[in-house]
Structure 1
Amino acid sequence: MDQLLSELESRDGVVVAFSGGVDSSVVASLADETLDGDSLAVTVRSEVFSDSEIDYAVDVAGEIGIEHEVVELELLDIPEFRENPVERCYICKKEIMGCLFDIASERGFESVVDGTTASDFQKDRPGARALEEFGVFSPLAEQGLDKDQVRIIASELGLPNSDRPSMSCLATRIPYGSEISIERLNRIEEAEVFLKEIGFEQVRVRDHDGIARIEFSRENRDLDVEVMDEVDSRLKEIGFDYVTLDMAGYSSGSMDKLVR
């Protein structure tokens, strides 16, 4: 922890790429603690991010006490991103980091930092290339901290999201090569909000051209008939033609496995 604080303290002001998730919250909290006002958390609002997640990020930043801004970025205006290639995450990160570095330059801050952990480098992450190209500083990964260790730090810091499930952008629910549209993003978001409201905390709704493939956490796969009927009915109201349950349960990055 001391080395982590020292690394942040050595920076002449930082902009934190802030999603409201546990990893970026730890970085934001430590930056706010060590840099005496020379830190700014920035959350990007875009069509691919759930409104509830943006609202949650605002709340968490308020609890941390760090200065916070929400900036708008229209990713669907970028044809290359909308086409949803395998390099989609690289295109997205490149746009977001460009925006954050512009803000850092305007504020006279030295660095843009993020919540990438050592665990994130255990899998293929096209977005990591954009971080490297821009020179984003990832203090958690630099210290070799994995996601479990970061959650422990978050708990020690008293952060409200230390045990909250990880989230990802809504575009990850759409298979590569299948165009991203606002209609698809909206129905995915609405479906996931509904499923969380009825008690499923860790859930993804993958949109296979109108077929909803639902991934629950493994312990939540034993559904009774009434729940299955309710889920089927509601998701069809939202706009899906068919509703299915993935037998394997929730798996982070399950769409990536289809292209390997």
Structure 2
Amino acid sequence: MTTTIDGTRIAQRIRAQVAAKVTEATGSGRIPGLATVLVGDDPASAVYVAAKRRAIREAGMRDFHRHLPPRATHDDVAAVIDEFAADPHVSGILLQLPLPPQLDASVLIDRIPVTKDVDGLTTGSAGLLARGERGLRPCTPSGVIALLDAEGIPLLGAQVAVVGWGELVGQPLAQLLLRRGATVSVAHEHTTDLAAVTRPADIVVVATGVRGLIGPEHVSPGAVVIDVGIHRTPAGLTGDVRSAELDGIADRITPVPGGVGPMTIAMLMVNTLRAAQWGAEREPVAA
């Protein structure tokens, strides 16, 4: 039988650990704070931001938020980011994506100071990851690593196939896995024989945005399958993996929902706490 990995339970444990550390920080007067910036009225984005803000408040952190209209200009958004960047009470800044078409997301993201980049998406954060230096890592890839660690799945020496080479998940995840000593293969839309990449793998992580792409023909018996995809269908949410077809083949698999999704918010909380802690380290000490 295939074991379903309970991402919700693991995320709850991480969130509780973060809340405990926030309580400790509160005693010293250093309360972490997250600033979220939402532009426009996309319903899905509004739901995601609300969930992040709720998690931050539940952990005892400060919740800062700014909602700008759909027609907001580059200067409007830049001014808000600059305001939060200068606020010492704001540990981290999150610009919710996607943005309205008149805005250049990459330029605005890079306006966030790397020390407050809790999404780990700025060019500076990507450079720190590539060089293996201390920095804030993208939340979803970090969540995948934390989930594997919580399950006791060894990465050192493991063969891992990452299906998807996007900047948000696939690319940073491959780098994180390499830093942990895994042997990583990356597949994408130009891969001619996907099964040839995935079948030798001990761990298959799928983040393509293609519903039901991965099935039993892609997975060897005993492999661990991590499904990052999420799609809304009339029957409910589903992922990039045909999970039911892998029952009895995969050793462990993440469900959709309840797998990687909860880990993403948990790692956002971890990043916000880290940003606050590292910011405190940089503060000058009075003589």
TM-score calculated relative to the size of structure 2 = 0.30
TM-score calculated relative to the size of structure 1 = 0.33
